[in-house]
Amino acid sequence: SQTIHQWPATLVQPVGSPLSLECTVEGTSNPNLYWYRQAAGRGLQLLFYSVGIGQISSEVPQNLSASRPQDRQFILSSKKLLLSDSGFYLCAWSRAYGYTFGSGTRLTVV
Amino acid sequence: AQSVTQLGSHVSVSEGALVLLRCNYSSSVPPYLFWYVQYPNQGLQLLLKYTSAATLVKGINGFEAEFKKSETSFHLTKPSAHMSDAAEYFCAVKGSSNTGKLIFGQGTTLQVKP
C-alpha cells in the first residue's frame, strides 16, 4: 500500500535560520508531489509541485524553495526563515484522481 | 481557471442536527471535486470525491455530497452530527492541467454543540 512520510512533526526555528522539511512516498512510482502551506486561520495554499525528478514548479513567490532529488522524495527548504514562514506545511502525492496527504509539520519561526 | 468558494468560515450545529457545509466551484472543464476533513494538527483525510460518475457521492463517516452542475455546487451534508465531527472541512477542485494540483477553498470550521 502507498504511504507518505513527513517529518518533523513540529519545529521551532529562529528568524534567519535555515529550513529543511522532508517528505517521502512509498508504494508508488512517478507520483506528482506537492507542498502546501496552511497559515493560521487560512486555507491551504499550494507552494510547489513536481511531476518528476528535478522538475519543480513554484506557485507563489516566496522565501522557500523545493527540490526533488529522487522519484519519491520531496524537500522544502529555506536559507533564511522569516516570521511569515510560520505555518502548517503539508506534503501530498497524487496519481490519477487519488491524493494522499502527509501528517504535516507545524513550523513556528520565532 | 478553477476556483472554490466555501460559504461560511464557521458553522455551528447541535449534536444530532443536520450538517450542511456549502461549496461552490468555478471550472472551465468538467470538474473533479473533493471534500477533506482536518483534525487539529493533522493532515487531510479524504471524505469523498466526485469524478463524473454518480452525482450523489457517499463518503466516510456518514457524509455525502451532491454535485449540481446547474448551481455549480458540491455541498457536504450529514443527517445527524456527532461530537466527533467537529473539525475543519475543505472543499477542493482538481486543476485542469496534467499536474493534478488541487485548488482548495478557505475551509469551514464545524463546531458541534452538545
Closest by Cβ to B32, choosing from A36, A97, A102: A97
Rounded to an integer, what distance in angstroms lies between the CA atom of residue A33 and that of residue A48?
8
pLDDT tens across A33-84, in order? 999 998 876 788 999 999 999 999 998 878 899 999 999 999 999 999 999 9
Is B103 within 8 Å of A104 when comparing Cβ atoms? Answer: no
Rounded to an integer, what distance in angstroms lies between the CA atom of residue B93 and that of residue B97?
12
Rounded to an integer, what distance in angstroms lies between the CA atom of residue B49 and that of residue B51?
6
Interface contact A57, partner B, CB < 8 A: yes
Rounded to an integer, what distance in angstroms lies between the CA atom of residue B29 and that of residue B94?
10
Is A32 within 8 Å of B100 when comparing Cβ atoms? Answer: yes
The share of chain B scoring above pLDDT 90, in percent, equals 75
**Cα dihedral B11→B15→B17→B18 (10° resolution):** 50
Residues 6+ positions from A70 with CB-CB distance below 8 Å: A53
Distance, in angstroms, between B91 CA and closest chain A CA? 10
Grid cell listed for B83: 461530537
pLDDT tens across B29-78, in order? 788 999 999 998 788 999 999 987 789 999 999 999 999 999 999 999 99
Give the DSSP letter of residue A60.
S
Rounded to an integer, what distance in angstroms lies between the CA atom of residue A86 and that of residue A83?
6
In A63-92, the residues whose Cβ lies within 8 Å of chain B are 88, 90, 92
Is B51 within 8 Å of A94 when comparing Cβ atoms? Answer: no
Chain B residues whose CB is inside 8 A of the A32 CB are: 99-101
Rounded to an integer, what distance in angstroms lies between the CA atom of residue A110 and that of residue A13?
6
